[in-house]
Amino acid sequence: MMTRRAFIELKGIFITNSLTTTPLSSPQLGLQSTLLASLLHSTSFSNNGDRLLHSTSFSNIGDRPLSRYQKVTSLDHAFNLFDEMIQRRPLPSVVKFNQLLNSVAKMKHFSSSLHLFKQMCLIGVPVNEYSISIAIKCCCQMSRTNDGFALLASCFRRAVVPNVFVFSTLLDGLVLEDRIIEAERLFKKLIKQKLCEPDVVMYSTMIKGLCKFGNNDIAIGLLRLMDERGCEPNVVVYSTIIDSLCKDKLIDDAFNLFKEMVFHKGILPDVITYTSLIHGLCNLGRWGEVYKLLKEMEDVRISPDLQTFNMLVDAFCKDGKVNEAEAVIDIMVERGEAPDIVTYSSLIDGYCLRGEMIKARTLFDSLTFKGLVPNVVTYSSLLNGYCKSLKIEEAMHLFHEITRKGLKPDIVSYSAMLQGLFRVGRCGAARKLFDEMRSQGLIPNECTYRIILAGLCNNHQVEDVLYLFHLVGDSKLNTDIQVYNILIDGMSKCGKLDIARDLFQDLTLKGLKPNVRTYTVMVSGLCREGMLEEAKHLFHRMDESGCPPNSVTYNVLLQGYLKNQNSDDVEMLLEEMDGRRYSVDASTLSMLIEKIAAGSVDRSMLKLIGKLVPKEMMDTTAVPR
């Protein structure tokens, strides 16, 4: 392994500085270096060390060695062993069969495991609640929870009394299939009819289900209830809710629950708890606190694991901070945590996001060399990148490669490809691809639907858009403000402002609330048709509706005024933008300059305009001073 010194030298002066000066409080050092420093300092308890410690001394104390039924390494191996077992007389104990069943399930060969279970029943092995819960788990993992319930029935036939393990597995199956109502019903029935007393795992499963459907408050209610009923919540229960709060951007609530767990309950957080919290902070762009929490992990001797690192790489990439993402990967390598396909897929996506397609491609091509196999996610990241940079032939080629490599393009790959085809105006090809997708049994999701609507709009296929929209009717797909935003924008760009207006009226009837984008596209549509008064009126309605205009709305209205020579309004709007600390975008700025040159906007506004130009733009644009 590379020594730390060599690593630092390799990384160059930048990191050496951050380690030799005082990195943590020094403001001129960027986040990258502080994060790096934080993680580099923690090598004393690196994952390597941890692994060594656990495997050699502590964790094996009291552990029994695995039996050979738990050590199967392949499906073939498992089936051979099973065949040998059923020929022995007397038959091996059910315990040994269960161990085999479980190892096959752990390899995610659920249908094989289930097959073996059925063989056991046929042969007359006296299956018990262990066997049945493994079999039910296999059904549930394959989204066949109903088959799991059928097995429950066979439980009774075999005089096996289903226990809390069996019911928890079924409950989890319902949650996995989004059957939350049935999950709640089952959970209540189990308690009411005293079929089993829920334990901490069953509570956590129910809590996970509630969180999944956005019922954080009810989930917390259940947390309180389990406590009252004498079932102590543990780190899993707390982490489930903390993660859900983080995903809903309720980071303060998440931290409050975290503090309650630690300080009131004395429950220690683990790497998953921290990963969830850090993820939440990353999503809010609160990098300073991300660093603090990483430091805290270090202090409490909890090492970030592969998933923590992958989450960080991904979060940096999503925020355009590719350098930081690369630095995290270097640290992973240095700490013996091998980056996997998830790590690199995120990085490829990060490159694509910045239009760095050469880098993305080079990395993609180097994966095989690293011993990693690209999967559908990897492919669709790169494919999406090509589509976004209008390299449609490259994208198409990659799309076909997915199948050639023995993978199946899924709904996301198809959606990305569709978006690309629409973007270059190849509606016919998009149509063909859509039909192919359907023939593969893939069902369009909300995202696919929005891509198609937007694609048709941008290609002025007004009739097709409206046909599709009405065809979908009042379903869930159309109960989405984003769909309306696309349609309102699309219709007004196609010169159908009347339709756009009607849509804007109708969305409220469906119980939808217009958001900033809805107002902005409507204002933009009105400006396009020169209906400045109505645009202005709508613009003012935004504040009253508790949906204040953002920078984009201001720019849109400003361009409307400029096009229609409303000089006084222009000045007033610029003043307001200054007051709200908004800035002008590149296209508005060039329009302003153009109008000043033409004499339709007074030069006296130059000073104000200068204040509204963001710093980044100063370097690249000729700004009047």
Query: Smallest gap, in angstroms, from Cβ of residue 227 to DNA?
Result: 13
**DSSP-assigned letters across all residues of 567-585:** HHHHHHHHHHHHHTT----
Which residues does 482 contact at the CB level (< 8 Å), separation at least 6?
Answer: 446, 450, 517
Is the CB of 187 or the CB of 561 nearer to DNA? Answer: 187
Cα-Cα-Cα-Cα torsion 107, 110, 114, 116, nearest 10 degrees, comes to -30
Closer residue to DNA, CB minimum distance, 307 or 567: 307
* 113 close to 79: Cβ distance less than 8 angstroms: no
Which C-beta is closer to DNA: that of 103 or that of 459? 103
| Closer residue to DNA (CB): 38 or 205 | 205
How many of the other CB atoms lie within 10 Å of CB of 515? Answer: 13
107-110: long-range pairs with CB below 8 Å, 24+: 107/72, 107/75, 107/78, 108/141, 109/75, 109/78, 110/137, 110/138, 110/139, 110/141, 110/142
Residue 271: both structure tokens together: 């790497």
For the CB of residue 144, give the shortest distance to DNA in the complex, in Å. 15
Q: Which is nearer to DNA, 126 or 624 (CB)?
A: 126
Select 398 or 457, whichever has its Cβ closest to DNA. Answer: 398
Q: How far is the CB of 575 from DNA (least distance, A)?
A: 39
Residue among 395 and 574 whose Cβ is closer to DNA: 395
Residue 376 or 593 having the CB closest to DNA? 376
Output 305 or 480, the one with its CB closest to DNA: 305
Residues 408, 377 contacting (CB under 8 angstroms): no
- In the complex, the smallest distance separating the C-beta of residue 243 from DNA, rounded to whole angstroms, is 4
Q: Which residues of 527-542 are buried (b: 16+ CB within 10 A; e: fewer)?
A: bbeebbebbbebbeeb
For residue 512, the minimal CB distance to DNA (Å) is 26
Contacting residues for 34 by C-beta, under 8 A, at least 6 apart:
18, 23, 24, 291
What is the Cα 481 distance to its own chain's centre?
Answer: 20
The residue behind tokens 């931290």 is 255
- Least CB distance from residue 302 to DNA, whole Å? 11
Q: Closest separation between CB of residue 284 and DNA, Å?
A: 14
Question: Nearer to DNA by C-beta: 315 or 491?
Answer: 315
HSE toward the beta carbon, residue 437, CA cutoff 13 A: 23
Compute the least distance from the CB of residue 450 to DNA, in Å: 14
- Report CA-CA distances (Å) from 117 to 106, 127, 168, 394: 14, 8, 19, 47
Q: Residue with structure tokens 């299939």?
A: 177
| CA 573 to each of CA 105, 329, 586: distance values in angstroms, whole numbers, following the listed order | 64, 46, 17
C-beta separation of 116 from 82 below 8 A: yes
Calpha distance 585→552 (Å, rounded) = 8
148 by Cβ neighbours in 10 Å (0-12 / 13-18 / 19+) ranks as buried
- Report how far Cα 276 is from the mean position of its chain's Cα atoms: 12
Give the residue with the Cβ less far from DNA, 19 or 201. 201
Structure tokens at 202: 């069953």
CA-based nearest residue to 507, from 487, 526, 490, 524: 487
Question: In this structure, are residues 243 and 276 in contact, taking their beta carbons and an 8 Å threshold?
Answer: yes
- The least CB distance from residue 120 to DNA, in Å, is 11
C-alpha to C-alpha distance for 487 and 462, rounded to whole angstroms: 10
Smallest separation, CB 358 to DNA (Å) = 19
The residue whose two tokens read 């309950």 is 265
Between residues 102 and 555, which has the closer beta carbon with respect to DNA?
Answer: 102
d(CA 516, CA 520): 6
Distance of closest approach, residue 618 Cβ to DNA, in angstroms: 32
Rounded to 5 degrees, what angle do the CA atoms 498, 500, 506 make?
A: 105
Nearest residue (CB) to DNA, 176 versus 574? 176
Q: Could you write out the DSSP letters of every residue in 240-256?
A: HHHHHHHHTT-HHHHHH
For residue 484, the minimal CB distance to DNA (Å) is 24
Minimum CB–partner distance for residue 470 and DNA (Å)? 30
- By beta-carbon proximity to DNA, the closer residue of 102 and 553 is 102
Task: Kindly state the smallest distance separating residue 377's Cβ from DNA, in Å.
Answer: 4
d(CA 486, CA 500): 10
